[in-house]
Amino acid sequence: ENVVNRIAAGEIVQRPANALKELIENSLDAHATNIIITVKAGGLKYLQIQDNGTGIRSDSLDIVCERFTTSKLREYEDLQAINTYGFRGEALASISHIAHLTILTKTQHDKCAYKASYENGKLKGPVKACAGNNGTQITVEDLFFNVIARKKALRSPNEEYTHIMEVVGGYAIHNSHVGFHLKKFGENTDIKTPIKSSVVENVRIIHGNSIARELLEIELTDPTLKLSLHGYVTNVNYSHKKGTMLLFINHRLVDSLSIRKAVDSVYATYLPKNAHSFVYLSLELDPRNVDVNVHPTKHEVQFLYEEQIIDRIKTVIENKLLSCNS
């Protein structure tokens, strides 16, 4: 049974950045305002996330890593109106099958913190009382230690770290009310955003002033399509090797090939060939129209009225670029 679970977990968590994304979403669900991430060897050796959120009640610590354990879904109907990131109860379970997982947590009602280690979805040893701050610290060590195939498929720690930077940078920009802090163990900070910052300020911190000062704000609401869009685009060819597109749908960092293609086609028309773009789109759709239940390996998100919605997005970006190029 563990082998099957391990294979499944190795498919859900394909690289350290996938695990980190789930952990960041958990911290955001727990209303954290400050999130500190520490990494060794691209997250393969060590990945730690510390938040100042609600913490986990000590009496749930024995089950949090079991599959389908979630505090976020009460009834099936909730699936239609999910407003937290997590709902599957699969992230911690998956990670515990393919890594050494330790949770240190304290709620504001507890006098002390509690520490627990997990293996294959289950507690490994007793829960121990210890010192700690309010919030949750999750440490993932030796990711994929028992998944040889996955380990072989991964590239270098440096490349994994690049993916981690993308995820942290994306969530920091999108959640500018939360402070994010990313560093390699024992080294200098790579990303540090303040609590109560702004999207533009965080773009400046993460991507540099040359991009931040070119940002053009875009906005769109369409009640018929149950769509609202807020974002920033640039009208310049900046010097990154490739363009950056950050797409959030209902506050989840996702990918959509069709949206990506549409945005690329706009830039191909309005900017010189090979121009590189920075695009940040935060799309809010009726949760009933978005397929959040796709298998986690599919980063591709699916939603209804795709063609019409993409048309509206293209138009709003086109108009913005036209208005400042004329």
Member of 12, 22, 36, 207 binding ligand ADP (CB under 6 A)? 22
Single out the segment in contact with ligand ADP by CB under 6 A; choices: 21-29, 186-194, 203-211, 220-228: 21-29
**87 is a site residue for ligand ADP (CB under 6 A):** yes
Per-residue H/E/C for the chain: CHHHHHHHHHHHCCCHHHHHHHHHHHHHHCCCCEEEEEEEHHHCCEEEEEECCCCCCHHHCCCCCCCCCCCCCCCHHHHHHCCCCCCCCCHHHHHHHHCEEEEEEECCCCCCEEEEEEECCEECCCCEEECCCCEEEEEEECCCCCCHHHHHHCCCHHHHHHHHHHHHHHHHHHCCCCEEEEEECCCCEEEECCCCCCHHHHHHHHHCHHHHCCEEEEEEEECCCCEEEEEEEECCCCCCCCCEEEEEECCEECECHHHHHHHHHHHHHHCCCCCCCEEEEEEEECHHHEECCCCCCCCECEECCHHHHHHHHHHHHHHHHHHHHC
- Examine residue 51 and tell whether it contacts ligand ADP (CB under 6 A): yes
Residue that the structure tokens 């002390």 belong to: 112
The full length of the chain comes to 326
Toward ligand ADP, which CB reaches closer, 69 or 228? 69
The site for ligand ADP, by CB under 6 A, has a size of 23
**244 and 232 in contact (C-beta within 8 Å)?**
no
135 strand-pairing partners: 106
117 sits near ligand ADP (criterion: CB under 6 A): no
Residue 89 interacts with ligand ADP (CB under 6 A): yes or no: yes
Give the footprint of ligand ADP on residues 161-180 (CB under 6 A).
none
C-alpha to C-alpha distances, 301 to 18, 174, 259, 316, nearest whole angstrom:
15, 18, 10, 21
Of the residues 6, 9, 21, 26, which one makes contact with Mg ion according to CB under 5 A: 26
**Is 88 near ligand ADP (CB under 6 A)?**
yes
Question: How near is the Cβ of 112 to ligand ADP at its closest, in Å?
Answer: 17
160 binds ligand ADP (CB under 6 A): no
Question: Which residue has 């959040």 as its token pair?
Answer: 292
Interface pick for ligand ADP out of 71, 120, 133, 258 (rule CB under 6 A): 71
State the Cα–Cα distance between residues 141 and 72, nearest whole angstrom. 26
Q: Which is nearer to ligand ADP, 104 or 147 (CB)?
A: 104
Told to check if 14 binds ligand ADP by CB under 6 A, we report no
From the list Mg ion, ligand ADP, none, partner contacted by residue 87 (C-beta under 5 to 8 A by kind): ligand ADP
Q: Does 233 interact with Mg ion (rule: CB under 5 A)?
A: no
Q: Which residue's Cβ lies closest to Mg ion? A: 86
Burial class of residue 310, CB neighbours in 10 A (0-12, 13-18, 19+): middle
| Binds Mg ion by CB under 5 A, chosen from 20, 32, 91, 227 | 91
Write down the least CB distance from residue 70 to Mg ion, Å: 7
**Interaction between residue 24 and ligand ADP (CB under 6 A):** no
Instruction: Determine if 69 is a binding residue for ligand ADP (CB under 6 A).
Output: yes
Q: How far is the CB of 11 from Mg ion (least distance, A)?
A: 17
CB of 139 to ligand ADP, least distance (A): 12
Mark residues 249-288: x for contact with ligand ADP by CB under 6 A, - for none. ----------------------------------------
Site membership for ligand ADP, residue 91 (CB under 6 A): yes
- Rule CB under 6 A: say whether 121 interacts with ligand ADP: no
Q: Which residues bind ligand ADP (CB under 6 A)?
A: 22, 26-27, 30, 51, 53-56, 64, 69-72, 86-93, 136
